[in-house]
Structure formats: C-alpha cells, structure tokens
Amino acid sequence: MILVLIFLCIIIILFLFFLVLLLSSIKLEIKDFELSNITEITTKDYMIKMSINLFGKIKIFSIKLNSNKLKKIYSKSKLEKINLKEIKEIFTVEDIKNLKLELMYLNVKVKIGLEDVILTSSLVFIISTAISILLPHIIKTYNSGNYIYEILPLYVNKNSYYIKLHCIIQLKIVHIINIIYIYLKKGRSDKYERASNRRSYEHSYE
C-alpha cells in the first residue's frame, strides 16, 4: 500500500512538473550590448538575463550573466566556430516561425557604412524595411514606447558599423518542445529513408 502511494505521489509530481513546464515561457533580455569597429566601447559590461515564468508573469527561475561571466563561460567551454550550413540543415525557416517568438521590448541603434555611398544608402533602406516588415509578426501588443529602432548611414568610405541593443524576447516552452519533437521525428524518418534506399540499392544488384 505504501509503495502504491509513493508511486502515485511520483506520478502526480511528474504530472504537475510537466504541466507547469507546458504553461511556462522563457524570457530572454539582452541589455546594454554594444559592438563597433569605429569607436572604442566604454561600456562593455552588458548583461543577459534569462527567466522561466509561469503564465508569462510568475517568475519560477532566473539567471543573470554579465560580460565577465559570459567570457569565462566561453573560455572554459572552448566553443568551436558555428557551422551555419549545419544549422540550416537542422532548422528551417518554418521551424523558426513555429517557435512563435514574441518581442516584448526593442531599443536598437545601428550605424553602418560601406566603401560605396550608394550601397550604404541601399543597405540602410533594406535593413529598415526588413525590421518594419518583421515587427508586426513578432509583437503581440504594440506600444510605440517599447519599440524603437534607428538605422543610420555612415559615410566614411570604409566598412564600418556601430550597434547598440537592448531587447526582451519571450517564447513558450511548449513551442520549444514541439520543435524538438518535430526535429526528432524528422531525424527518425530520414534514418529509415536512408536504410530503405540502401536496401533498394542492394536489391538492384542481386
């Protein structure tokens, strides 16, 4: 009887854990991030905050990483260069859409310049247009004070840039689980397809 009660308690705890997980969301904040090749950045102590919130409001867990901590993590982990081709093979544009990212806050200032003045103007126009098209798809409730972006040209006859960013992004854990499930399912189907192709290839030579 005691074992049955213990088993039921474990089942209930696991059920509640997964229920909370499914109803929770991850909030990621990048604050005071600056990057430039034209001026020395004086404020390098940027911060990344990540929290897990129930119903998007009740904080369950949070962690803060400043620039010094991130540098230590990077140096200890000995991260290799990111292979963009491998990422494209794993995650498609449709997968990113299915994540249903919500941009809660954006304050970004970009100054960018190329060696050619006409190309600089064109690039500024393209970036500004792309942001204006993208924002309505990742904003749930629009507030003009929460979404500020400024894209400016730098006419210095060389490739140059300055970026200052503060943003808050939120996504539901259930969407992450869904993407992982789709990826695992796709991996299994690809594996079976390769095995089937090998068998067909072998039979063709019998």
pLDDT 10s digits, 35-58 = 888 776 555 578 888 898 888 778
Is there a contact between 67 and 46 (Cβ–Cβ < 8 Å)?
yes
The radius of gyration computed from the CA coordinates of the chain, to the nearest angstrom, equals: 23
Cβ atoms within 10 Å, residue 114: 21
End-to-end CA distance of the chain: 61
Specify the higher pLDDT residue, 196 or 170. 170
Longest alpha-carbon distance in the chain: 81
The Cα–Cα gap between 84 and 91 comes to 10
Identify each DSSP E strand in the chain by its residue range. Answer: 24-36, 47-54, 58-66, 102-113, 147-153, 160-172
Q: Which residue has the higher pLDDT, 37 or 126?
A: 126
Q: What is the pTM for the complete model shown?
A: 0.70
Q: Is the model's pLDDT at 87 over the cut of 60?
A: no
Ranges of each domain in the chain: 24-184
pLDDT single digits (tens) 171-203:
888 888 887 777 777 665 555 555 555 555 455
